[in-house]
Amino acid sequence: MATLLRKIGLIRLHNRDTEDPKHHHNHRGGGGGQQSASLRGKGGAKSGGHKPQQQQHPAGGAGDASPGPGKGKGKRAAELAQRDKPPQPAAGAAGAASGGGPRERAAGARAGPGPAAAAAAAAAGGSLVPAARQQHCTQVRSRRLMKELQDIARLSDRFISVELVDESLFDWNVKLHQVDKDSVLWQDMKETNTEFILLNLTFPDNFPFSPPFMRVLSPRLENGYVLDGGAICMELLTPRGWSSAYTVEAVMRQFAASLVKGQCTVDV
């Protein structure tokens, strides 16, 4: 019986040793190493027996670093075309001149005008300022002279009368009908049957801020501040002596007084 029990114990010890994890691990590791070694051996044999093939590319192909004859000619033609291309205008000028779509016009507006466009705009602006000023001066002069004509037409003593030269509002022929009746000039006018003294008045662009040009047309007068050719020497008719408040009627009355004061006579 005791012998039987010892045999059973030995069988159990043997089974326990065979079922130990470490034992199984070592066994599996050894088998895997042999299997991997055999695989490496097979791979080495295959790699040793296989020769790598060199990749070959045809001349002038995509893989060749040096361009072929056809590609070199195409590149040279592109360089020549780029060199001969005319210079492009500035973005602002191109967008404004071409009148392209909304995107082109918007790009041109953001870029601003080119130098030529800016110079043209400056020149145009410089010419517009004098033109507007000229128009304003013409309007002021016209309104003033229309009022002067209306005032002269309402004179009760018929001291002077006005005729427009060639229907121009700025060129007048004025007839002076009366001077001091106690003067030598009045006596000469009676003796020579001279009914009036004819004068010409030309109004400049900046009238009434500048005096008119006035001269005697007929008859021929001597003394009385009237020079040869009919020019009149009066401080009132100079830029220094002139005032925009002077009217044509007031100027003519002052002239009539200067004729008497200077003892003017009619040259027969």
In the set 227, 233, 250, 257, the catalytic residue is: 233
The structure tokens 């002052």 sit at 254
Q: Is the pLDDT of residue 91 over 70?
A: no
Mean pLDDT, residues 228-248: 93
pLDDT at 161: 95
Are 170 and 140 contacting, i.e. CB atoms less than 8 angstroms apart?
no
Among 215, 241, 238, which residue's Cα sits nearest to residue 226?
A: 215
In the chain, alpha helices (H): 2-18, 21-49, 69-84, 91-98, 102-111, 115-153, 184-191, 248-261
Q: Which amino acid is at 207?
A: F
pLDDT at 224: 86
Segment 210-226, tens digit of pLDDT? 999 999 999 999 988 99
SS3 (DSSP) at 92: helix
Neighbours of 173 (CB within 10 A): 14
Higher pLDDT, 23 or 172: 172
Q: Flag the least confident range among 103-107, 150-154, 203-207, 235-239.
A: 103-107
Q: Which residues pair with 199 in a beta bridge?
A: 174, 216
Rounded Cα gap, residues 71 and 60, in angstroms: 8
Rounded Cα gap, residues 214 and 196, in angstroms: 16
Q: Flag the least confident range among 36-45, 176-185, 209-218, 244-253.
A: 36-45
Rounded Cα gap, residues 53 and 83, in angstroms: 46
Q: Is the pLDDT of residue 149 over 90?
A: yes
Residue 264 annotated to the active site = no
SS3 (DSSP) at 172: strand
pLDDT at 4: 62
Q: Is the pLDDT of residue 147 over 70?
A: yes
- HSE-CB at 81 with a 13 A cutoff on CA atoms is 6
Q: Which residues pair with 125 in a beta bridge?
A: none
Q: Is the pLDDT of residue 8 over 80?
A: no
Question: pLDDT confidence of 106, banded at 50, 70, 90?
Answer: low
- Cα distances from 182 to residues 186, 189, 221, 237, in angstroms, run 7, 12, 18, 26
To the nearest whole number, what is the mean pLDDT of the chain?
A: 74
User: Cα–Cα–Cα angle for 21, 22, 27, nearest 5°?
Assistant: 95
pLDDT at 245: 95
Q: Where would I find the beta strands (DSSP E) of 139-228?
A: 160-165, 168-176, 197-202, 213-218, 221-222
Higher pLDDT, 48 or 2: 2
pLDDT at 110: 54
Rounded Cα gap, residues 112 and 69, in angstroms: 46
Segment 26-71, tens digit of pLDDT? 444 444 444 444 445 444 444 444 444 444 444 444 444 444 555 5
Q: Is the pLDDT of residue 237 over 70?
A: yes
Token representation of residue 19: 């079922």
pLDDT at 201: 97
Question: pLDDT confidence of 102, banded at 50, 70, 90?
Answer: low
* Percent of the chain's residues with pLDDT above 70: 52
pLDDT at 223: 87
pLDDT at 158: 87
